[in-house]
Amino acid sequence: MTSRKRVFAHKVLRYLIPAVLAWGSSCPAVRADNVPAGNLHCIRAGARGNASGRTWKDAFTSLPQKLQRGHIYYVASGDYSEHRFEDLEDGEKFIIVKKAVETDHGTDEGWQKEYAQGAAKFKPVVFMKSYYIFDGQTGGGPKSWIYGHGFEINIPGGGMGIRILEQAKIPGEVKHIELRHIAATTGDIDVKGAAVYGCTGKYSDIKISYCYFHDLFGVPVHIINWEHLLFEYNCVARNKCTPEWHSEAVASRNCSNMIFRYNWWENIQGTGIIMHMSGEVTDWEVYGNVFYDSGIAPLGLTAHGAVADNQNGSIKRVKVYNNTIVGIRGLSSSFRFFKGAGDIEAYNNLWYKCPAFARMAGVTKQDCNTYIDTEAPGVPGANDKKLKGEDPFVNSKEHDFRLNRPTSPGKILKAPYDKDLLGNTRGTNGTWSRGAFEFSEGKLRSKD
């Protein structure tokens, strides 16, 4: 990433760091408290002990080729090679690989605080079996969208950073994989690459959270035949698309039961941002997200919209609630399902200064949406609002999209849709806000 992009990204996202200092992660920690000492292992690049992995002095210098089920592997800061996770499964026993941090690093024997400083940097990794947790422990989410990730995946020559099932192999099946607190990039937006790629076989019960996928030429998240994905508190920023190499943030084919919530999507180019590309699928939920174009190169540019299909296959039972859409350019900033098969709802979304039209397609129920300086649907919902010249945000110039005042009342929804991106309960002041952030005057004053 250029220095200009780094400075800009810090300016864009810094406001959410102090805003949630008291808010805990929704992703539960997996600690070593109840794990036998013999099941805890230390990995440290450059270690010169006996390589037993029992202490930080005698740490493995890299992840062992064969890992053991029911064990935790703590990784110190440093540079590490690529790794293939293909360990024999044993019922539902997980293998857990975690960044070693000051408060959670297994044994104290031989521990030094500098082992926690900085990231553990891997080359691409491949998951060939089920039941893994790959957890960088720090960074990501509203506290630190783009900073402090304990694990980094570097893809300098292009390709796939995190691959689940290998291409050209006999199709397999994987389930129960959790990826947390990981940053992945090629480091050069002109180099083709994907952060997460799973397109061979079948996939179920995958969780991706608190990650930062950025500056990639192509599709950051490319998935086929997935079911039950939870994608939350991630930042996906800046990709590249050309007429010869079509792209989007998420290219999803034949994937059902998908939840995309509380993410930050920035400057995405291509067919759309979250895209259903093909297949007969059901049950998508997209809520509490920020879809944003900064107006600074590389600009985003979307054809079908923020959440859309590619006119192939059908999709039904989709819920698109309480998202904030700012500055999106191209042909559409809306939700367009050309092959929508019914039960597609769009409630409580907030558009602000989008040059691209917010016309919907295939949405069967829409209401309580607000369009500010954005061309709205020709037939709006009964409680939709079209506004001009208003700025509802704390500081839109600094990209702080928390609300500075109540919006028009939104539609009241049941849990889990009753929390905003920062964990605030919606409607406690009597009005359910529109957009990704719930207005709360007291909290706003105390945080500012």
Q: What is the pLDDT of residues 251-274, one digit of tens each?
A: 999 999 999 999 999 999 999 999
The per-residue b/e assignment along 176-212, b for 16 or more CB within 10 angstroms, e otherwise, is bbbbbbbbbbbebbebbbbbbbbbbbbbbbbbbbbbb
Instruction: Decide if pLDDT at 12 tops 60.
Output: no
Identity of the amino acid at 272: G
Instruction: Decide if pLDDT at 70 tops 50.
Output: yes
Instruction: Decide if pLDDT at 67 tops 80.
Output: yes
* pLDDT for the residue 442: 57
Token readout for 60 is 């493995």
Mean pLDDT of the chain: 90
Neighbours of 29 (CB within 10 A): 12
Q: What's the chain look like in SS3?
A: CCHHHHHHHHHHHCCHHHHCCCCCCCCCCCCCCCCCHHHEEEECCCCCCCCCCCCCCCCECCCCCCCCCCCEEEECCEEECCEEECCCCCCCCCEEEEECECCECCCCCCCCHHHHCCCEEECCEEECCCCEEEECCCCCCCCCCCCCCCEEEECCCCEEEEEECCCCCCCCEEEEEEEECEEEECCCCCCEEEEEEECCCEEEEEEEECCEEEEEECCCEEEECEEEEEEECCEEEEEECECCECCCCEEEECCEEEEEECCEEECCEEEEEEEEEECEEEEEEEECCEEECCCCCCCCEEEEEEEEECCCCEEEEEEEECCEEECCCECECCEECCCECCCEEEECCEEECCCCECCCECCCEEECCEEECCCCCCCCCCCCEEECCCCCEEEHHHCEEEECCCCCCCCCCCCCCCECCCCCECCCCCCCCCCCCCCCHHHHHHHC
At residue 443 the predicted structure's pLDDT band, cuts being 50, 70 and 90, is low
* pLDDT for the residue 32: 57
Would you put residue 65 in left (φ > 0), alpha (ψ -120 to 50) or beta? alpha
Contact 258, 223 (CB under 8 A): no
Neighbours of 34 (CB within 10 A): 5
Instruction: Decide if pLDDT at 20 tops 70.
Output: no
* pLDDT for the residue 23: 29
Token readout for 62 is 């890299």
Q: Which residue has the tokens 């994905």?
A: 229
| C-alpha to C-alpha distances, 162 to 80, 85, 185, 214, 221, nearest whole angstrom | 14, 11, 11, 13, 10
Q: What is the pLDDT of residues 138-147, one digit of tens each?
A: 999 998 999 9
Closest CA to 271 of 238, 300, 230: 300
Q: CA angle at residue 224 from 220 to 225, to 5 degrees? A: 145
* pLDDT for the residue 7: 34
Q: What is the pLDDT of residues 279-325, one digit of tens each?
A: 999 999 999 999 999 999 888 989 999 999 998 889 999 999 999 99
Q: What is the pLDDT of residues 385-418, one digit of tens each?
A: 999 999 999 999 999 999 999 999 999 999 999 9
At residue 27 the predicted structure's pLDDT band, cuts being 50, 70 and 90, is very low
Distance CA 180, CA 138 (A): 9
Between 169 and 103, the higher pLDDT residue: 103
Q: Which residue has the tokens 């409580």?
A: 348
Distance CA 314, CA 334 (A): 18
Q: Which residue has the tokens 């539960």?
A: 28
Token readout for 300 is 């985003």
Identity of the amino acid at 280: E
Domain boundaries along the sequence of the chain = 3-29+137-447
- The proportion of the chain whose per-residue pLDDT surpasses 90, expressed as a percent, equals 82
Closest CA to 433 of 324, 345, 307: 324
Distance CA 392, CA 410 (A): 15
Q: CA angle at residue 57 from 55 to 60, to 5 degrees? A: 70
Instruction: Decide if pLDDT at 370 tops 70.
Output: yes
Instruction: Decide if pLDDT at 96 tops 60.
Output: yes
Token readout for 213 is 């996928």
Q: Which of 8-17, 123-132, 318-327, 421-430 has the lowest mean pLDDT?
A: 8-17
* pLDDT for the residue 202: 95
Q: pTM score, two decimals?
A: 0.92
